[in-house]
Structure 1
Amino acid sequence: MPSLDTLLPFLGIAILLGLAPGPDNIFVLLQSAMHGTRAGLTVVLGLCTGLLVHTAVVAVGLAALLAASVVAFTVLKIAGALYLIYLAWQAFRAPVGELPKAGEGVKPGKHMYWRGVVMNLTNPKVVIFFLAFLPQFVTPERGHVALQLMVLGFVFILATLLVFGAIAWFSGVFGRILMRSARVQRAVNWFAGTVFLALAGRLALSQR
């Protein structure tokens, strides 16, 4: 098990990383603004499930193989880019109209959860980041390296839940206020679609 002296700085760094602008927290912000806080929180749970998978992959050593495989990296990034293009298409064609009353909003549903899972798992940069980041906080002398990696991964997921949960809440609340206007709804939909396309392009052109 990592020591408390290791876990506390790691938690602080993980929180700062969660606050830094990136595809995942931008995704949470946009989904929450468009569909409400509950939907945004459901997406966050999906993203954290993806992080759990990445943690397990790093702990068992598969991440090194993925990082070394050009084919695996390319397949993942193309799949991720195509998924983002699909989300952009959905955003561009999203209906505009009167918002339902509080408590009658869009049900989060499994599809919002799986959006988060797919968004996270199809980004090869995440598993490579975990491969480079987590081992820096491992102390081999304490033994059970795989267990230490799993614990660090869980702490990172906790930080992600806190930060992304806050983003989902604030974005959902203020998004609902702004989107009472049909014009703002249309602008947000087009902005979201444009951002998703930009993220797709960035992912498709990314290098290991």
Structure 2
Amino acid sequence: MISMEFLITSFIVVVLPGTGVIYTISTGLFRGTRAGVFAATGCTAGIIPSMLSCILGLAVIFHTSALAFQVLKFAGSAYLLYLAWSMWRQTGTLELTAEENRKSMFKIAFKGFLINILNPKLTIFFLAFLPQFIPVQAPMPVLNMLVLGSVFMGMTWVVFIVYALLADKARIWIANSPGKVKYVQRTFAAMFAMLGARLAFSGR
């Protein structure tokens, strides 16, 4: 049974700006709706390993092993800083050919996938979040967590798609102004850098 409390809590968690939201919005803004959809899909797919590791009990490894947690945390931080540097160095244009767009879709989705894969706190989040909504006497708790996790993923995908669509609409505002494009690119670059630094220096 999926409670209203679970749906409301999940929606709040998904809507709040995080790394995946920022990546999806920036992609939709600079690459358009199709790219934004691929970014949203990649970020959502990146939830699967964390969700499964939680359900299968592997999250306990990260929860109890400081070394495993720290290694993955710093890898995720380095990747976010790499994204920040890449965006900072972009030329300030929104133009892409159809061929370039097709070739880059998988890369966009894979970047979104890596963003969540390299975030160890996502695994810990599921470890702490899902069990709260499983009845103590549930006959099949694993199945219940799979259902709740799938609902959470579906909600994530839908919300991220909305973010991508809204970002695409905002392209009109900056499309004809290289100065605005550069400003927005560097703003997102700074956001990724701050997220990377926060992940690197945050506690467990």
TM beyond 0.5: yes
Contact 2:30 2:94 in 1 (8 A): no
Does residue 106 of the first structure (1) align with residue 92 of the second (2)?
no
Query: Structure 2: any 5+ residue segments left out of the alignment?
Result: none
Alignment match, 2:38: 42
**Aligned pair partner of 2:68 in 63, 69, 72:** 72
- For residues 100-125 of structure 1, give each alpha carbon's deviation from its aligned partner in whole angstroms, at most 9, with x where no partner exists: 58x78833521111111100011111
Alignment match, 2:51: 55
Alignment match, 2:24: 28
Contact 1:91 1:193 in 2 (8 A): yes
* CA distance in structure 1 between the partners assigned to 2:47 and 2:15 by the alignment: 16
- For residues 165-206 of structure 1, give each alpha carbon's deviation from its aligned partner in whole angstroms, at most 9, with x where no partner exists: 100110122134423211111111211211111111001011
When the two chains are superposed, the root-mean-square deviation of aligned CA atoms in Å is 1.8
What is the percentage of aligned positions where both structures have the same residue?
32
Specify whether residues 11 and 105 from structure 1 end up closer, same or farther in structure 2 by C-alpha distance, changes over 3 A only: farther
SS of aligned partner of 1:142: coil
* CA distance in structure 2 between the partners assigned to 1:50 and 1:100 by the alignment: 26
**Aligned pair partner of 1:157 in 153, 159, 181:** 153
Query: TM-score, length-normalised on structure 2?
Result: 0.92
- The residue type equivalent to 2:73 in the other structure is K
Contact 1:18 1:163 in 2 (8 A): yes
Alignment match, 1:170: 166
Specify whether residues 206 and 152 from structure 1 end up closer, same or farther in structure 2 by C-alpha distance, changes over 3 A only: same
Alignment match, 2:80: 84
Contact 2:31 2:94 in 1 (8 A): no
SS of aligned partner of 1:61: coil
Contact 1:36 1:176 in 2 (8 A): no
* CA distance in structure 2 between the partners assigned to 1:32 and 1:100 by the alignment: 13
Alignment match, 1:198: 194
**Aligned pair partner of 2:111 in 103, 110, 115:** 115
